[in-house]
Structure 1
Amino acid sequence: MAAEAAPLQGYDRKTASYQAKVSAYGQLSGAVGVFQSALSSLNSATAFKGLSTTVGNKDVLGASASSKAVAGNYRINVSQLAQAQTLMTSGMASKTSSIGLGGSTTLFFQFGSASGSFGLQGTGLSSSMLTSGLSNGSLSINGTAIATSSSTNSASALATAINDKSGTTGVTASVANIFSTFGDVATDAGGSYSLKVGNTVIATQGAGVAAGAGVTAASLDADLANSGGATATALAAAGITFTGSAAAGTLEFRSASGASVAITETATGVTGGAKTATGAANAGASYTSASSVTLAAANGNPITIAGTNPAAAGLTAGTGGSVLGGGFTQDASQPSGSVVIDSSNNTLQGVADAINKASLGVTATIVSDGSSNPYHLVLTSNKTGENASMKISLSGDGSNPPDAALQSLLGYDPGSSQSMQQTTAAQDTKLTVNGIAVSSHSNTVSEAIQGVSMTVNQVGSSTLNVARDTGSVKTNLQAFVKAYNDLSGALKKLTAYDPETKKAGALQGDPAAQSMISQLRRMLGGQITGLSGGLTNLGQVGITFGKDGTLSLDDAKLNKAMDSNFGDIAGLFTAIGKATDPNVNFVSSTAKTKPGTFDLNITNLASQGSLTSAAAVGGSTTISANTVWAVTLNDTTPSNAKNIANVTIPAGTYTADQLAKIVQSSINGSSAFSSNGTSVAASIDSNGKLVLSSSKYGSTSNIALADVSGSTVSSIFGGATPVVGTDVAGTLGGKAVVGSGQTLTGADGSDAEGLKIEVTGGALGDRGTVGFSQGYAYQLNNLATSFLGTGGLLTSVTEGLNNSIKDVAKQRDAFSAKLDDIEKRYRAQFNALDVTLSKMQSTQAYLTQQLAAISKNG
């Protein structure tokens, strides 16, 4: 049987040989995987175009640079950080008690910029102050005592005292002064001029008087200074005194009672006068010379008034403030939103929960201050910046007014009624870059320096250096060279013969391994086609083959290439597309895209779905209460409910521009659309018509409006018909392309297959060319994938070897089974022979006995 089993050794030798190759290919696959990983850092254009940033003071800011940045040195000075606006309601005894009568009331939130200043408007100064001044200690602002004395006996003097402490209080004071400018009065042939303080006329000028020949700042001051004159006597009789002078721009009238003084300027055919420069037209006006101060908080925070007698200064003890002389301009780019408050949620907690659930861009919380009415609803905008100030309006259901209690608690309009108190003002980040003023709505400042993004952390100064990131390029190329050499070394070891040990590598003479070596060297030794720059091969950046087949990197050549052709290095390694037309951008490619230059011709530009009003929008448009439209945006066939939403348009009277803003922000505030990433833009075109368009381009871009309640769609848009968007269309290299929105993709089977470009504008017809090249890293990555991927060379060979091992195992098992049969036959034969031999031995013994007996008897 040992002789019969000798062929088993052959099967074992075959199995060992196949397993050795499987192991060798496993090592080779690992080396290819490492090589492919090293290519990842070279297969992105940004790896070669990036810049590094060095920040002098990291406590002040951090920075990063994109490929669009330009090297340079910058000095950054941050003077203010962006912050979000916070509003607070007055206090309530309970957060769960009902507010109002429970009628349906809609809260509508708008976001934009508030004008005016935040502060306090003082009342008339007390008569005792005007007579005896303000004793020291009478007034403190934000915890700082204001130094006053007997000479603090006018609004101007009080403002000066307050402003002396503005560095610590953050509060400035001003006085309404109509004579900040007084131009020489001139009257034409039919003109006349009169200036009246209270009921006293202090200056007049008849027709045909030239500037400088009649009423001037100097003549006005002289007349007032004449204590025995008619003007001074009449003012004294009326209890009106004055300080300052018209010439100095400080003239201020005041009443003995501390009240403000009315001033009337009547002018016909007049130039010059109060608040009017010499030669400038003056139609006359009514003014107030106030015996009071106006306080403004620089940071928009509430002002705390205290002291022993703040009332004498026309101020009330306590903390407060509001927007003075303000207005509100909506930012159409910020979505608006609404929430309904009714009997189911008309508590402080219910309102907070409803606002938070509605995702309006506002966070609602309830704060308790520990007082007898401790609970305050606090609303904070989710965005920072001056353009994120809130306006909160309320409307009732149908023709019903909003709930009065909710209105008095929650209404807030910077230009009108302010039921809520601002506790933190919306403000921008403010900084200078090399002395140039820059502002940002957030603490992330982008594009103040081209291609650089800065994150501002605190007020202060820092330097910023932006430089080419040549170090990363060199590191990536060194890693590439090492990874290739490691792969080449692995291939060499597995395919070589060692004369000293007289042993061959597991893959010596293996055709798959030889094919890999051949393909890698051929690819690295070739040139890149389709490039428009000055670099086309690895040798130009210092990467060359040595006699032993390994790669080496010459630092001097690389540095020279980076100095002279830094922007072209990326094309050597990555897949890059570049269009000659500035309105055409390369997006992506596939492994099937062939290098080359393709002529581009555009036959149709992409458009957006839109709805344009049939007629020009009037200068004033009124939207009635409870106006709701059903908006369909970018719907499909068949229709999808997620593309349709009911949108509330807040009631009000709007100019054309305001109407466009409110419609845009209202639709974009719908969570149904924002969750889908869809939005609209509204504008007034050159014909005065309202244009509402989807932000999406292409044949799936559409928009439609339908009535639900309130003002009808037709009252704004007339009988206008929606227009569906179209896809861009054209050819690449004379071949058809697939258009979708603003993108064109090369069709299957063409050289430009998978090449995707974006056409953002321009004209129809020939649009230049689109060049595409595949760099070394891109090609090598595809080659490595062809080795390792499903159906790849290494995968296929390894699968074949494993199948061969299985076949040999089957052959060995079959032969082993055959050996069992042979052994059984041999044993059967042996047993039969043994029986026969036993019988023969028995016969022999018998015959021996018989012969012995015969011999004995004979």
Structure 2
Amino acid sequence: MGISTPGIGSGLKVDDIVSKLMTVESQPLADFDKKSASYLGKVSAFGNLSSALGSFQSSLSGLTSLSGFQSLLSTPSDPTVLTATATSTAQPGNYRININQIAQAQTLASGGTKSTTAAIGLGAKTTINFSLGTVSGGSFGITGTALGASLSSGGLTPGSLSLNNTVIATDGNTRSARLLADAINAKSTTSGVSAKATPTVTNATLFGAAGASTFGNVDTSGGGTYSLSVGGVEIATQAAGVAAGAAGGVSAASLDAALAPNTAVSRALADANITVSGTAAGGDLTFSNIDGSNIAISEAVSGSVTGGIGNSGTANIGSSTTAVGSVSLVSADGSPISVGGTNPGGAGFTAGVGGAYLGASFAADSSRTSGNIVIDSNNNTLQGIMAAINKGNFGVTASIVSDGSAGTNAKPNHLILTATDTGLTSTMKISLSGSGGNPPDADLVSLLGYDPGGVQNLSQKAAAANTLATVNGIAVTSTSTGISGAVTGVTISALKVGSSTLSVSKDTSSLTSSVNSFVKAYNDLSGQITALGAYNPDTKTGGPLLGDSTLRNLQASIRRQLSSSITGLQGTSLTNLSQIGISFQKDGSLTLDSSKLQKAISSNFNDIAGLFAAVGRGTDADVKFVSSSAKTQAGDYPIDITQLASQGTLQGTTVLPAETVIDSDTTWTVTLNDTKPATLANTATISLPAGSYNPSQLATLLQSSINGVSAFSSAGATVSATVGDDGKLKLVSTRYGSKSNIHIATAGGTAVSTVFGTGSSVDGVDVAGTIGGYTATGDGQTLTGSPGAPIDGLKLTVAGTTLGSRGSFGFSQGYAYQLNTLASGYLGATGAITSRTTGLNNSVKDIAKQKDAFASRLVDIEARYRAQYTALDSSIASMNTTASFLAQQFAALAKQ
């Protein structure tokens, strides 16, 4: 194949010719690019529109629900004392609040153990039950012993006693339990400890024992005299010259006569705050002083005297004895009391830290969970017990704390138990029971047994306490740091003890800000829409979306919704935006008249929500609005209820006896709020601690045991247990509807029939009825409008006890709610803007394919042109060669 160089032989400019021809042939490529650029411009424009519409929708987020409008501000004067939140039901006003005590959780500590992993006890199976409840009666403190013998004469020297590091002011005059109690109470503000003197009682055997009198007849015939006084009150005298047993002589019988009610002696003793019990003749005569003052009993004798206290017929040289009382200490907050000083024993106390409930009783709280753990040879260590308690998840947490002590005999490790919740109802009671008729492991009882009304082997480090406060002078209490109900619609969070005022006012600033944001966002959106679809007559150019149907429909829909009135909600005076100062300007933007808005806020604060949010309001207070959907239509709908929701129950048929005995190892299988088909997590086995229970205690035990199952509580499944007036036990699932049920079967120990007899379970049913005459679906107490109807998606809760007509329910969709729904229809994966953008991008892809195909054809066209003109070039070159040859030949012939 020869080498071809176009144009050399002929002078024909093949490359220039082909290039110019291809320039003409390539003209359509520019049209492809122009179309693609146009489509991409629209894609970008729709992106801007989507962004503006998204910003507009974001501005509506706080305006679509009722709560966004009726919020109130709650402002404390001292936010370090309390904070507060207010709902729409609160009433504006000012409140004076004093926080006197902050709620706290109870904390108990065990005695020390040497190791956290060493076995405790013999490993016998022991069930430990934890109950939460309330302690009532009695006090928390220390009961002292009788004061030192020398107290009545020498007093209690300074520094002898300190309580919680506060030195009690004692001296030589502190000679009785009453005076010591007064000294302790004088420092109670600092120490947190108050005192009460126990009644002073004379020796029970002073005048005899076992019914035998040891008071001998007094004989002064030898010339002596005799006088007997009690607490400074002379109760008997005998002059000289009176023989034993003679008329007017002092004897056991004469003492009893003098001490009889309403005698001069008995009245004198009463004035001295001294009471009398028993008789001298019976040998059990005692005297007591309730305020704890000392009682001195003395016999004054002169000359020769026989008889008197403790002798008969023998010489009496006089006697004197003083009865001294004791003091009990009470902790103000239930915390341990630290006792110290140079001579605490003289005050009847032992140095150290201590305290226990005294004379109290415990009542389990039926609303609180209780739980059991089983300790045996597999987990009878401090760590094993801690893990079992924490796994139980029944309102008590356990930890191990070391006190740092060391040495051969040191026992530094303590089990610390803390109630999960604060408040008086979270006080613990810990009971232990054995298995198979055997007693519980004694070492475990010694470690963990705790009954505020009985033996307390654990020491209380912090008492359960409620929050105590006053609101405008009214005392209120709460089991947590939150106080609800004291001020309607306001929840107060107590932070520390102190005083603060609380101002509750309408949150007009947030509402004004939201409305302003709404107007601005609309104007921004309107400006963007105008720019995208406008035509400039000066430049004779239009926006990228000029004439676009999607843009026009969006703009028209928004303006139509904003120009219409709100319907469907009766009893409101606001139905359009102009009533709160929002109106259209000539350019299509919105303007806000702030003064008109403030006037509407002042006079119609609660009705403004209806202009923006989805609002429902019924004539029956027990029919409440829950939610709606985009398909729910505004309107006023009559409510008719054919069936009320009910709860699953287990009703006993046996009248409970005064005491029901639960055997050891009693376990019941409980199925609560199960589904069809059954769900394994809805069935659990509970263990009932052995013991004897009255009906109320039994109801509390069952309720707290079932509610203590973590699988149930995690699913929000709980029960309530009550004993009716007929004495029969009833269990009720707190859930409503067809998914509400409770079934119990015996797994071991005491049979279920012992408590419930032949009682059977009845499952709950869902509410049924119509909304506006249209069918609705019930789920518990919730009634939801059926698809396809105007009430589609409208959710109401129906409570109360009335069947049939329940009045009417009005529903309206405010502007923000409507516009939010409209925006959602344009945005998102299936929105109109997304669909248009997808279509435009697909068009760009199609154009790119068409351009690539056309470009491929241009290659072939260029090749064809080049081949044709190359051949022409060759032909011309050949003809030029022939012409040259001929010219040469003709020239030669001419010469010849």
Question: Identity over the aligned pairs, expressed in percent?
Answer: 51
TM-score, structure 2 normalization = 0.84
In the aligned structure 2, how far is the partner of 1:492 from the partner of 1:201?
Answer: 119
**Aligned equivalent of 1:592, options 620, 631, 642:** 631
Deviations 1:341-397 (A, max 9, x none): 111221222222222232232222222224422222111111111111000000111
Q: 1:392 aligns with which of 430, 443, 455?
A: 430
Aligned: 1:565 with 2:604: yes
Displacement of 1:669 = 0.8
- 1:674 aligned partner: 713
1:839 aligns with 2:878: yes
Change in 2 beyond 3 A, CA 1:801/1:230: closer
User: 147, 152, 156: which is aligned to 1:125?
Assistant: 147
Q: Which residue of 1 aligns with 2:376?
A: 342
2:103 alignment counterpart = 82
Query: Superposition pairs for residues 19-98 of structure 1, below 5 Å?
Result: 19-98=40-119
* Cα 1:449/1:231, change in 2 over 3 Å: closer
Q: What is the alpha-carbon distance in structure 2 between the residues aligned to residue 519 and residue 125 of structure 1?
A: 92
Match of 2:32 in 1: 11
Residue by residue, what CA displacement relative to the aligned partner does 1:707-762 show, whole Å, maximum 9, x if unpaired? 12221101000111111111111111111111111111111111111111111222
Q: Over residues 536-578 of structure 1, what are the superposed CA-to-partner deviations in whole Å (9 max), with x where a residue is unaligned? A: 1000111000111110111111111111111011111111111
Q: Secondary structure, in 3 states, of the residue corresponding to 2:27?
A: coil
Counterpart check, 1:609 vs 2:648: yes
1:114 maps onto 2:135 in alignment: yes
The answer on 1:823 being equivalent to 2:862 is yes
Alignment of 1:139-288 (within 5 A): 139-176=161-198, 215=261, 220-222=266-268, 243=289, 250=291
Partner of 1:731: 770
Residue of structure 2 in register with 1:433 after alignment: 471
Which residue matches 1:104? Answer: 125
- Local SS of the residue matching 1:293: strand
Per-residue CA deviations over 1:286-337 (Å, capped at 9, x if unaligned) read xxx9922221000111112223332232222221110000110111111101
For 2:753 and 2:262, how far apart are their aligned partners in 1?
58
Matches within 5 A, 1:511-590: 511-532=549-570, 533-590=572-629
Q: CA RMSD in A?
A: 2.9
Are 1:326 and 2:365 matched, yes or no? no
Cα deviation 1:47-83 (Å, max 9, x = unaligned): 1100012111111111121222211101111111111
3-state SS of paired residue (1:614): strand
Note if 1:707 corresponds to 2:746.
Answer: yes
* Structure 2, gaps ≥5 residues long: 1-20, 202-230, 232-251, 299-322
* Aligned residue type for 2:597: L
Q: 1:508 aligns with which of 546, 556, 576?
A: 546
Q: Is the 8 A contact 1:580 1:769 kept in 2?
A: yes
> Aligned equivalents of 2:297 and 2:195: distance in 1?
22
Structure 2 Cα separation of the partners of residues 761 and 200 of structure 1: 75
Is 1:134 aligned with 2:134?
no
Relative distance call for 1:618 and 1:226 in structure 2 (3 A) is closer
Supply the distance in 1 between the matched residues of 2:634 and 2:593 (Cα, whole angstroms). Answer: 28
Cα pair distance change 1:217/1:426, threshold 3 Å? farther
Specify the code of the residue in structure 2 equivalent to 1:333.
S
Q: Which of these residues, 730, 742, 760, is aligned with residue 721 of structure 1?
A: 760
Query: Displacement of 1:419 after TM fit?
Result: 0.8
Q: Which residue of 1 aligns with 2:3?
A: none
Is the 1:175–1:292 contact (alpha carbons within 8 Å) kept by the matching residues of 2? yes
Aligned match of 1:299: 333
Give the Cα separation in 1 of the matches to 2:641 and 2:253: 77
The C-alpha deviation readout for 1:64-123, integer Å capped at 9, x for no partner, is 212222111011111111111111112223332221111111111000111221001112
Aligned length: 796
Distance 1:401 1:290, change over 3 A: farther
- What amino acid sits opposite 1:73 in the alignment? N
Aligned counterpart, 2:305 = none
Q: Which range is displaced more, 614-623 or 375-384?
A: 614-623
- In 1, the alpha carbon distance for the partners of 2:864 and 2:547 equals 45
User: Do structure 1's residue 454 and structure 2's residue 492 form an aligned pair?
Assistant: yes
**Equivalent residue for 2:700, pick from 633, 637, 661:** 661
CA distance in 1, matches of 2:184, 2:263: 28
* Distance change in 2, residues 1:460/1:703 (3 Å): same
Aligned runs of 1:347-386 on 2, under 5 Å? 347-371=381-405, 372-386=410-424
- For normalisation by structure 1, the TM-score amounts to 0.88
The 3 A distance-change label for structure 1 pair 66 and 653 is same
Distance change >3 Å, CA 489–CA 98, structure 1 → 2: same
Partners of 1:457 and 1:230 in 2: CA distance: 53
Cα distance in structure 2, aligned partners of 1:226 and 1:518: 99
- Name 1:465's counterpart in structure 2: 503
2:355 and 2:412 map into 1 onto residues whose CA distance is 19
1:625-640 superposed matches below 5 A: 625-640=664-679
CA distance in 1, matches of 2:68, 2:263: 69
709-718 or 90-99, which deviates more: 90-99
3-state secondary structure, aligned to 1:591: coil
Structure-2 separation of matches of 1:661 and 1:226: 49
Q: For structure 1, list consecutive stretches of 5 or more residues without a partner in the other structure.
A: 180-196, 206-213, 244-248, 258-288
Contact residue 223 and residue 231 of structure 1 kept, 8 A: no
| Stretch deviating more after TM superposition (25-34 or 90-99) | 90-99
Q: Deviations over 1:197-237 (max 9, x none)?
A: 9x9999899xxxxxxxx95699843366799x999995999
Looking at structure 1, the residues matched to 151 and 277 of structure 2 have their Cα atoms a distance apart, in angstroms, of 25
CA distance in 2, matches of 1:254, 1:626: 56
